[in-house]
Amino acid sequence: MSKHTLVILAAGMGSRYGGLKQLDKMSADGDTIIDFSLFDAIEAGFKKVVFIIRESFKDDFKKIYDERLKGKVEVEYVCQELDKIPAGYEVDSERVKPWGTGHATLMIKEVIDGNFIVINGDDFYSKGAFKTIIKELDNLDVNSYNMCMVGYNLKNTISENGFVSRGECFVNEEQELTNIIERTHIEEVDGQIKRKDDNGNFVSMSQNTIVSMNFWGFTPKYLEQLESDFKLFLAERSKELKSEFFIPTVVNNIIESGKGAVKVLTSDAKWMGVTYAEDRPTVVSAIDSLKEQKIYPKNLWE
């Protein structure tokens, strides 16, 4: 049986959403989006889950998920806080937010001893994606820097209610990632999907562009590289009040160094997520439909 771990990025404060979207109920049955990722991951064979959260809402998470997951999967909670950085580095007194998804993932290093996946807590990924990636995790040598990811068609990941951030993926003929560039502003403009460049100008993107939704498969060696790269990041950019350390930055570094490769698995599923409060009705309707079709049971945890 698989011993792989599901890691959920859930430390965000939901500034664009207007609240703690990770725990917002998306159905009359009280389901969160995280519930569906958990359900799908357990069904696929994951045996452990690690929530990356904040101390300020740790009790809220435990109150919900300790009960729901009891006897179903091993559960750990780790907290991403602004001051949880390597010794010898200082936090600027004016900085408000932690250091991004790379920093968040570094919080799990003491509770991971095998291959693992990392996902967002506010994205719905689909059953097939979990079943696909766990098979690939079985093929990853735990002592290697090789990785895998599930990519989605850009057209299936756009919000109707504002811009989104996505990692644009460049893939070779062997279906390996050659580069990933974080695009922090993508939206539909006059019927076309466009991103803003560094100068704030809109640039068109193909609707079939493969993008990352932060659905990564890693070995523990990734965490070693992550820690090393984060120290370099802090040395160079810790004084920038809004600088962020992203998961794909370390992925690119591993690719460029030749240490490892990333197998790109693809999904044609349509994204569901709650970047904005206005996204919620669409997600609620879609979840209702999935339950009506009996793709999911009415009560996930009975």
Question: pLDDT per residue over 187-239, tens digit each?
Answer: 999 899 999 999 999 999 999 999 999 999 999 999 999 999 999 999 999 88
Are 38 and 59 spatial neighbours (Cβ–Cβ below 8 Å)? no
Q: For tokens 């160079």, what's the residue?
A: 236
Q: Which two tokens mark 224?
A: 């070693």
99 and 243 in contact (C-beta within 8 Å)? yes
Give the span between the Cα atoms of 55 and 198, in whole angstroms. Answer: 35
Question: What band does 97 get if pLDDT is binned at 50, 70 and 90?
Answer: confident
The span from the CA of 288 to the CA of 294, in Å, is 10
CA-based nearest residue to 116, from 106, 126, 103, 128: 106
Quick one: pLDDT at residue 2? 47
Burial of 111 (0-12, 13-18, 19+ CB in 10 A): middle
Backbone angles phi, psi at 294, to 5 degrees: 65, 25
Chain segment 74-90, per-residue pLDDT in tens: 999 999 999 999 998 88
CB 266 within 8 A of CB 152: yes
Report the chain's mean pLDDT, rounded to a whole number: 92
Q: Percentage of the chain with pLDDT > 70?
A: 97
Local structure of 194: helix, strand or coil: strand
- Sketch out the chain's domains with CATH numbers: 5-143+211-260+269-292 (3.90.550.10)
DSSP per-residue letters across 166-192? EEEEEE-TTSBEEEEEEEEEEEEETTE
Q: What does the pLDDT read at residue 23?
A: 84
The set of residues, in sequence order, having a beta carbon less than 8 Å from that of 85 and lying 6+ positions away, is 91, 99, 103, 230, 234
pLDDT of 39 above 60: yes
| Joined tokens for residue 4 | 């792989």
pLDDT at 212: 93
- C-alpha 263/C-alpha 135 separation (Å) is 12
Q: Is the pLDDT of residue 160 over 90?
A: no
Beta-bridge partners for 123: 273
